[in-house]
Structure 1
Amino acid sequence: MNFINFAVVKFSICLALGIITAQAFGVNSLLIPVILVFCLLLLITAWFYSRRQLLQNAFFGSITFCCFFLIGYCNYQFRSPLAQTNHYSVFIDTSQTELLQLKITDVLKSDNYYHKYIADIYRVDSIPAEGKILLSVKKDSVEGLFAIDNELLISSGIKPFTPALNPHQFDYAAYMNSLGVLFQLQIDHRAIIQFSNGEKSVRGVADGIRNYFLKKLKASSISSEERSIIQALLLGHKTEISKELYSNYAKAGAVHILAVSGLHVGILFLIFSWLLRPVLYVRHGKIIKAGMIILLLFSFALLAGWSPSVVRAATMFSLFAFAGIIKRPTNSINTLFLSFFILLLCKPQRLFHIGFQLSYLAVFFILWVQPRLYEVYSPKNYFLRKAWAISTVSIAAQLGVLPLTLYYFHQFPGLFLLTNLVILPFLALLLGVGLLILLLLSLNSLPTEIAEAYNVMILSLNSFIEWVAGKEFFLIGDIHFSELKVISVYLVIIGIVLLLKRFSFERCMLCMVSLIFLVAVLVHTNLSGETQLILFHKSRSTIMGIQQRRALVVYSEEPLKNIKQLGLIKDYRIGKGIRNYSEAPLPQILQYKSQLILFVDSTGVYPPASNIDIIILRESPKINMDRLIDSLQPRQIVADGSNYLGLVKRWKQTCKIRKLPFHHTGEKGAFILE
């Protein structure tokens, strides 16, 4: 497939590279006007130079790409919360209680103790402000949930998120920061001074529509577990799916169907295009059809709660429909990159969302690779031909997202092809009939037979997913996949696809270089490996590990079985590519390289040792810190998560007075010695 307008692809890549650069180097609002002026001067210089040239050379193109790079850089910087002069954090002292006026913009999944929301702060005391915040309200202090567009007046102090305290653990603080949420509020009902229904927004209207249909579904004859899947498929409401059922979908490689996004909107786009084919026979039928498709797609986005993922997908496929209206020579990849460019221009933070990355990579590889795969085999039987088409779509999409999937989730469902071969045709039927059921529910005229038949369909889907998930032999897990591996594998995939499309010496060399790079990365990964001691942070427990290249010895008083089940150990092993694992009891004195480490436990008893470099305090020993320091003369004191916070504060204060380094894993994270 040749790009008819390759410029939009290049501009999109330059824009994305600018956003990545801005994110890597942090936010500096003072640079924004300087870079914008520089960008303007570059364009003026390029225009004056190029207008005198009969044939354009690489100078003007290079300057143009540089400008799009700078646009991406500035746009990310400009839209960052830290660059906003009226962000609420400018007016708030985190150590004091403030009077905050906020409006709820999103309802998140609750945990065991809190109802959670994303809210926009629009006033601090009497000062106008802006910015998103995570609001957590204790479950036992309020009746029911707040809704989108509810406005609250709260008297409380804000606090920052706690970063990940152990290496390679999920960093919730970084995740919330990627959403533009820098601080959080944890309150009970006493902090809420005033409550009111605010002015309705599009998201609020969408949430009201979704809640209406959720109530209708609950009143129907569809059983609870099957209803939870319907709510996820059609309304984007996943909070009622059980952990076991969600785990089965993940193991079967079908978790993507539980999140309303590009797959669902793409299927609906095809369904609507097929249903509206008769419109083409009327005057201006092409324009009318495209307009109706766009209207229906955004109506579904409204029905599904107007979440960012479904709005993104609706925008992307609406551009496909719009491309048919203007009748300009184009192709699907140009349209895809145009939507990519527009969405990043509107909200550059989207680039770092996993769903955004996987969605665009899957669609790109389907458009780029699937036609070539489909030509490999041409069955004459109609059903075989359709099965082959679905298989090639699944393979192309999986090829596109595989490196990122391994990087983010560290597992590969071996039966993904079988799963998609069954689910994709089934999903189109489920979506079509499901929308019909919602329409009938809104009219209070849903026949019991249709509801029961749909219930059987969902039950069959769940049974199939459970059967596939049970084949654990085909689920490859705990895969270590670094950033370098992601880049090298994508280079190999791109090189091979280009070579298969058209053989040439240049493409052959590109393929060979990418393969050599991949082999070099794999060899480097296997031969490299650091040696370090790490004291993990774990509440009420002491867990220490010593890594030597690809081997890890864990020191703890807990049984090996329980240690293996700890998420922090699993995350560390996967992140470091640990192959050999063993356990040993915690020693009282440990020699690590040239440093002598002493553990002092709850007994408070320690030997009269000398030349102690590091003392690790665990299980809240009752000791006199001054006497301990005078006796052992350590170079550093470390306290892990098994100690009472009151004792830790006193130890920290004593070490501060004695000018002795003090490390608390609950504050600074895991203690690491290289």
Structure 2
Amino acid sequence: MKRWAPYPFVRIVLSFIAGIAVYLYTGKEFRYSPELFAFFVALYLVLYLVSRRMKSVEANTLAGIAGLLCFAAGGMWVTHQHTESHQANHLGRLPSSPAYYMGTVNDYVVQKPGYQSTVLQVEQVQVNGQWQSATGKVQLSVPHDSNREYELGYGDRLLVKGAPLPVAPPSNPNQFDYRAFLENKQIHHRHFLQAHQYQKLDTDPSNPVLYFSIYLRRQLDALLKASVDERREYGISSALILGVKDELDNSIRDAYAQTGTMHVLAVSGLHVGLIYGILALLLASFKKTARQRTVYATVILGVLWLYAFITGLSPSVLRAAFMFSLITVAVVSRRQHNIYNTLSIAAFALLWYNPYFLLEVSFQLSFLALLGIVYLQPRFYRLLTFDNRLLDKGWALFTASLAAQLATFPLGLYYFHQFPVYFWLANLLVVPAATFVLYSGVAALFFSWVPLLNTVLFKIHFAITWCMNEFNLLVNQLPQAVINGIDISVSQTWLLYTLLLLFILFFAYKELRYFAAATAVVAVLAVQEIREMSEQRVQRSLVVYNLRNATAFSFLQGRQATVVSNQALALQNYTFNIQPYLWHKGVPQASVYTLVDTPPSGISHALLPDSNSLYVWQGKRMLVVSKPIKIQPMPDFEVDYLLLTQNVRIKPAELQPFWFKHLVLDASNAPWYLQRLKPQLAEAGIGYYDITEQGALVVEL
């Protein structure tokens, strides 16, 4: 085994990450992290003094362990300090809801169809007629129906009428937890505003640097939009160069995701690395004297941070710019730098700044991909040698893509539930193409003031972007281009990384014990898979989903499912609300029908004379009422689930002739309808299940 001595910062950052993880995954309620940190610091000082006196390996080891525990406790303390919900005047701790609140826009404004979204840092609230200071972040959504490009901007101070609402939990089983996603950004409330509910007071940006960075990015984005004619190519260009994804076409976004090349559209370490690489190549011979090295570092650092500035100082770019800055400083100081220590220093500094970065998918994937490229790529590259320069560069690119994909493979399965089969082919051409898109786009923007040259550069930029898009669409149309529906747990993700590490150790040290341990991990994964498949063969469930303005329910048996809805489901509705649960249950693709269709065998369906529907499945009866009831049930006819939908005109008295176990109000009903009906049901003594408030109804049989 390699000794740990050359990697001090690796030990430190791993301990720091362990402290952050312990705090985050124990409920964020541990209030004694400062005391714990002080205890371990005192313990370390005592053990350090003892080790200096005893001068033994054991004493030094104990002092070293205590030092690492200091960093772990420090990680807990820093995370506690960054958890805004613990503050006494936080929005979530107010005694009653505010009538008004004031705050400052402190994030980018994101364009959405028909509205714009941003984050407001709350400063004051009016509670019971009195203004008082408050803290907290609110995700604001404001209508965008004017001729202005942006309704709001960074630094705008707003007066808002009404109270923000806590972010709702997922309303359907296994749905993406948007509440947890926002909580990691310290956002606990949302407010969907009408135009008359807010007023702009003035503009007072808390960070002038970020304010001018966002302003410059908007100006450059407007220049791109005016110079790149096609919307599809403009969306890719803006996303790849500036990180603005507002105009990104959904079909092309899906194509990039399913070919494993989505990373080129997220301005991140790849883009900073490309800029660093071309600068390092151009200035390679400019490091002979101390003065030349100073110019070398100044140029590289200046360009890297200028690029970070024009891309809006996004966290992913800041991470990469900081890391390459450390590498540049090490190069010009002629000190031997260890890339693992450099990565660790960058990770430690970023997590100290905001420990919640650890939970960001981009943070996890970027560092894992870099580790994969640093360690695995040189070993893959040495497997084959080519005399041809072009083949050699292609092989280097292929091995880098393979290393990054392998390092992020388990995490990609866990988060995205898919595996792009032709990632190696797509990255082989898309990454070089993206390189030229970036270089040509930056050059076109830089020379936009030169009359003829800017036209030529934008034409070249457009042509390369168009070719890259067409190639991605072509790869996406290949047979079995992507394997969807992969659902793994957190424990299985850790097991896959353990397996990967054991194989790396086996090939590095040629010791059989690592292969034996890898075999044991494979056995555990196989047992888990066999057990899961056995459970899925006998599973049965009925789910009524929470889909706004729509009725949808599913019958699931084994690894097959039938989804029924009142209308043809939009792809987005199905993908985000229904598909995650089916994938979790092992159903790769469900059969989809509407209420007027005849479902497959195994499900009995009767369209009643009053146009309502009766379903019988697995001994359960469900009556779906979307029209006024005009029939009388047969004596002793019992319904398990009576589903009221689409604002059906009905009175509780009309339900009395029906024998039903559960009355369900689904999300196709409007708020005004539910507000009127529910008191009537309560007065009649009829219990109900409101999908809009309680989430999807899941019945496991």
Common fold: TM-score over 0.5:
yes
* Partner residue, 1:66: 69
Shift of 1:636: 4.7
Instruction: Name stretches of at least 5 consecutive residues in structure 1 with no aligned partner.
Output: none
Tell me whether 198-207 or 614-623 shows the greater mean CA deviation: 614-623
Q: CA deviation at 1:367?
A: 0.7
Which residue does 1:517 correspond to in 2? 524
Structure 1 Cα separation of the partners of residues 52 and 287 of structure 2: 45
3-state SS of 1:533 partner: strand
Aligned counterparts of 1:65 and 1:72: Cα–Cα separation in 2: 11
Partner Cα distance (1:488, 1:261) in 2: 28
Cα offset, 1:8, TM superposition: 2.3
Which of these residues, 157, 165, 188, is aligned with residue 171 of structure 2?
165
Identify which of 124, 133, 139 aligns with 1:128.
Answer: 133
For residues 108 and 257 of structure 1, the distance between their equivalents in structure 2, rounded to whole angstroms, comes to: 20
Aligned: 1:384 with 2:406: no
Percent identity, aligned pairs only? 26
Alpha-carbon offset, residue 635 of structure 1: 5.9
Unmatched runs of 5 consecutive residues or more in structure 2: 592-598, 606-612
Match of residue 636, structure 2, among 609, 630, 633: 609
Distance 2:349 2:248 in 1: 34
Q: Distance in 2 between matches of 1:331 and 1:551?
A: 52
8 Å contact from structure 1 (residues 217, 227) kept in 2:
yes
Residue 347 of structure 2 is aligned to residue 340 of structure 1 = yes
* Aligned equivalents of 2:648, 2:521: Cα separation in 1: 56
* 8 Å contact kept, 2:434–2:468: no
- SS at the partner of 1:343? helix
| 1:102 partner letter | T
Q: After alignment, is 61-70 or 608-617 more displaced?
A: 608-617
- 1:327 to 1:449, Cα distance in 2 relative to 1, 3 A: closer
Q: 1:646 to 1:103 in 2, by over 3 A?
A: closer
Counterpart position of 2:118 = 117
**Residue matched to 2:554:** 545
**Conserved? CA contact 1:29–1:78, under 8 Å:** no
Contact 2:105 2:118 in 1 (8 A): no
1:318 CA displacement? 1.7
Say whether the 8 Å CA contact 2:109–2:117 is kept in structure 1: yes
Amino acid at match of 2:690: H
- Aligned-partner Cα distance in 2 for 1:671–1:222: 48
Match for residue 477 of structure 2 among 445, 470, 481? 470
- Report the Cα offset of residue 580 of structure 1: 7.6
In structure 1, distance between residues paired with 2:540 and 2:12: 43
- 1:576 paired with 2:585, answer yes
Are the structure 2 counterparts of residues 227 and 652 from structure 1 closer, same or farther at C-alpha, using a change threshold of 3 Å? closer
Task: Map 1:201-350 to 2 at 5 A.
Answer: 201-220=208-227, 224-350=231-357
The answer to whether the 8 Å contact 1:132/1:180 transfers is yes
Q: Which moved more, 1:206-215 or 1:282-291?
A: 282-291
- Do the aligned residues in 2 keep the contact of 1:596 with 1:613 (CA within 8 Å)? yes
* CA distance in 1: counterparts of 2:300 and 2:570, whole angstroms: 55
Residue type at the aligned position of 2:578: I
Cα pair 1:636 1:660 within 8 Å, conserved: no
Judged with a 3 Å threshold, the aligned counterparts in structure 2 of structure 1 residues 502 and 558 are, in CA distance, closer, same or farther, namely: same
**Alignment coverage as a number of residue pairs:** 670
**Aligned-partner Cα distance in 2 for 1:472–1:576:** 25
SS at match of 1:135: strand
Q: Name the structure 1 match of 2:88.
A: 85
Q: Which amino acid aligns with 1:494?
A: L
Cα shift at 1:222: 5.8
Q: Which has the higher contact order (CA 8 A, sep 6+)?
A: 1
Specify the alignment match of 1:485 in structure 2: 492
Query: In 2, distance between residues paired with 1:64 and 1:296?
Result: 38
Deviation at 1:670, TM superposition (A): 0.7
Partner of 2:11: 10
Give the TM-score taking structure 2 as reference length. Answer: 0.86
Secondary structure of residue in 1 paired with 2:432: helix
Alpha-carbon distance in 2 for matches of 1:294, 1:9: 25
Question: C-alpha root-mean-square deviation of aligned residues, in Å?
Answer: 3.3
Query: SS at the partner of 1:528?
Result: helix
**Deviations, residues 89-148 of structure 1 (Å, cap 9, x unaligned):** 434743x521313234221232x2312112222232443333322121112368441222
- 1:475-495: per-residue Cα shift (whole Å, max 9, x none)? 222333333332222222111
Point out the more displaced range, 618-627 or 281-290: 618-627
Q: Cα distance 1:542–1:298, how it changes in 2: closer, same or farther (>3 A)?
A: same
One-letter amino acid of the structure 2 residue matched with residue 127 of structure 1: Q
* Corresponding residue for residue 27 of structure 1: 28
- CA displacement 1:179-221 (0-9 Å, x = unmatched): 2211122223322334323246221111121222233334447
Hey, what's the Cα distance between the residues in 1 that align with 2:232 and 2:647? 46
Paired AA for residue 459 in structure 2 = E
Distance 1:56 1:101, change over 3 A: same
Distance in 1, Cα, partners of 2:32 & 2:460: 61
Residues 440 and 460 in structure 2, CA contact (< 8 A), matched pair in contact too: no
Distance 2:695 2:687 in 1: 15
Per-residue deviation, 1:170 = 2.5
Query: Which one is further off, 651-660 or 268-277?
Result: 651-660
Per-residue CA deviation, residues 337-390 of structure 1 (Å, 9 max, x unaligned), is 221122112111111111111111111111111111111112222222211111
Deviation of 1:255 after TM superposition, in Å, equals 1.9
Deviation track 1:449-493 (CA, whole Å, cap 9, x = no partner) reads 333233322222223223223325322223333333322222221
Q: Give 1:100's aligned amino acid.
A: M
1:121-200 matches, cutoff 5 A: 121-125=122-126, 126-140=131-145, 143-145=148-150, 146-199=152-205
